[in-house]
Amino acid sequence: MKLSDLKNHLDRGIQPALEVHGVDPSIYLIFSLANGERSPVVDDRGSTLRFRSRRSAFDTLKDIGVHKADFVHKSAFDEMVGVGNGVPTEHRESVNLIQ
């Protein structure tokens, strides 16, 4: 989904499910969820939007009118404390952007 299309949805009162994924310590991507499918939010040229911080990704969403998004950090390396033995590791939290 294009960021401009997302803004158009929001302007019509549609609040889609969104996730900000921490892919790397300095790469954050926004995904929209629809019909069980997760797709990246892209710019008008079709390039995946990349952010250097979690805050900048959430600020961009807040600026276009998003009320809530989930933050997701998945680890492929079993590095989260207290989890191991091949158990999928994921940190997920809902973030309210509008106070």
In this structure, are residues 64 and 7 in contact, taking their beta carbons and an 8 Å threshold? Answer: yes
User: What pTM does this model have?
Assistant: 0.84
Whether 21 contacts 29, CB under 8 Å = yes
Q: Give pLDDT tens digits for 34-61.
A: 888 999 999 999 999 999 999 999 999 9
The whole-angstrom separation of Cα 89 and Cα 71 is 14
In what helix (H) or strand (E) does residue 92 lie, and over which residues does it extend? strand 89-96
